[in-house]
Chain A
Amino acid sequence: MDTQEKRVTLVWLALVALTLGSAWLGEEGLPVVATALVVALIVAAKGLLVIRHYMGLEEEGSRLRSVMRLYFVVVPALILVAGGTSWLAA
């Protein structure tokens, strides 16, 4: 296994670990806002890992990379807002 293959294998293991972490959160019954915050961070981390290491968007200053990365800032923010509205409604 060369360096690149090792790198993507580690990324895959990290993605699986983050998924299992998310599932554990869902079962633990933590406060709604805390769950939303951790879920948002996990979604952002997973998205950014896939964009960089699986899709190969690594070039500095690339507009495409900026748009893709922005997506994984905006969507987790939306998750946080969705979690917050549930907390307000409770």
Chain B
Amino acid sequence: MELAMKSMGVMGSMVPPSTELKGSVPGNRGIWVGILCELAEFALMFLAYAWFKYTHPEDFHRGPAMLYTACGVANTVTMLTSGYFAVRALLAIQRNDRRSARNWLIGTLLGGLAFLGIKAWEFSWNIDHGVVGTGNSFVAMYYYLTFNHLVHVVWGCLGLIWVILRNEFGAYSAEDHEGLEAATLYWHATDLAWIVIFPLLYVLR
């Protein structure tokens, strides 16, 4: 995570930037190390999901029906919309429109906060309906995947707050917006993980 924060310009670094990949990779090399680590972590969880689905088919067959599907759909649409706002923020700063970039970034952050709000409400609904972590292997997997994803959304929100503040102080321009781009890339990676999690938990039986 420290690497990801450095990549967004949150922490100073004594390591000179690699020029080898500049221009050929969106954002910077550091954020891509963070993104690939995040996706590798989720890949292991998806393998665990497949294993438990194989060994406990009955739990996974009944599992999605125990969940509030509308919350999963709302979370997915919110995440995709927030990702769209992040792209619009990047396009705005690329034409040096800082004000528009700020508005799109705030929209992105609000999307992230809405995602967290929907998840909190869903967890509360789960508890009221007996969907608790000790229930069965599907429910345990559901909490394991969604809590892990939640942590990444929180990190992403913190990164977005940081780039909103930096943008306010004029840190980004059409020529130099590496930190802003890195934050949006991390956000899209979190979106990618959810794109897989949603059907695994709410659709596949």
Within the complex, which residue of B36, B47, B198 is in contact with A22, where a contact is CB–CB below 8 Å? B198
- Closest chain-B Cβ to A15's Cβ sits at a distance in Å of 5
CB distance from A51 to the nearest CB of B (A): 8
| CB under 8 Å from chain B, chain A span 15-65 | 15-16, 19-20, 22-23, 25-27, 32, 35-36, 39, 42-43, 46-47, 50-51, 53-57, 59, 62, 64
Q: Which of B32, B57, B87 has a CB less than 8 Å from the CB of A89?
A: B57
Q: Are B46 and A75 in contact (CB under 8 A)?
A: yes
B84 adjacent to A82 (CB under 8 Å): no
Q: Within the assembled complex, what's the spacing in Å between the Cα atoms of A19 and B69?
A: 12
Quick check: B204 and A19 within 8 Å, CB to CB?
no
Partner of A54, one of B53, B54, B188: B188
Q: Is the CB of A79 within 8 A of B199?
A: yes
Interface residues on chain A, number (Cβ under 8 Å) = 46
Q: Are B202 and A5 in contact (CB-based, < 8 A)?
A: no
Residue from B26, B195, B198, B199 within 8 A of A56 (CB atoms): B26
User: Is B179 close to A, CB under 8 A?
Assistant: no
Which residues of B sit under 8 angstroms from A39, Cβ to Cβ?
Answer: 199, 203-204
Surface stretch bound by A, among B75-83, B123-131, B146-154, B170-178: B75-83
Taken residue by residue from 8 to 48, chain B's Cβ proximity to chain A (1 for < 8 Å, 0 otherwise) reads as 00000000000000001110000010001001000100110
Question: B84–A12 contact, CB under 8 A?
Answer: yes
Q: Which residue of A lies closest to B80 (CB)?
A: A15
Task: Give Cα A71 to B53, complex, Å.
Answer: 21
Chain B residues close to A by CB (< 8 Å): 24-26, 32, 36, 39, 43, 46-47, 49-50, 53-54, 57, 60-61, 64, 69, 72-73, 76-77, 80-81, 83-84, 86-88, 91, 185, 188-189, 191-192, 195-196, 198-200, 202-205
12 additional A-B residue pairs with CB within 8 Å, beyond A23-B202, A78-B50 = A5-B88, A12-B80, A12-B83, A16-B81, A19-B80, A43-B199, A50-B191, A71-B43, A82-B53, A85-B50, A85-B54, A89-B54
The 6 A-B residue pairs with the shortest CB-CB distance, nearest first, are: A26-B203, A12-B84, A89-B57, A56-B26, A82-B50, A85-B54
The interface of chain A, by Cβ under 8 A from chain B, is 4-5, 8-9, 11-12, 15-16, 19-20, 22-23, 25-27, 32, 35-36, 39, 42-43, 46-47, 50-51, 53-57, 59, 62, 64, 67, 71, 74-75, 78-79, 81-83, 85-86, 89-90
The 25 listed contacts between A and B (C-beta, < 8 Å) are: A8-B84, A8-B91, A12-B80, A12-B81, A16-B77, A16-B81, A19-B77, A20-B73, A23-B69, A35-B203, A36-B204, A39-B199, A43-B199, A50-B83, A54-B84, A54-B86, A54-B191, A55-B188, A74-B43, A82-B50, A85-B50, A85-B53, A85-B57, A86-B60, A90-B57
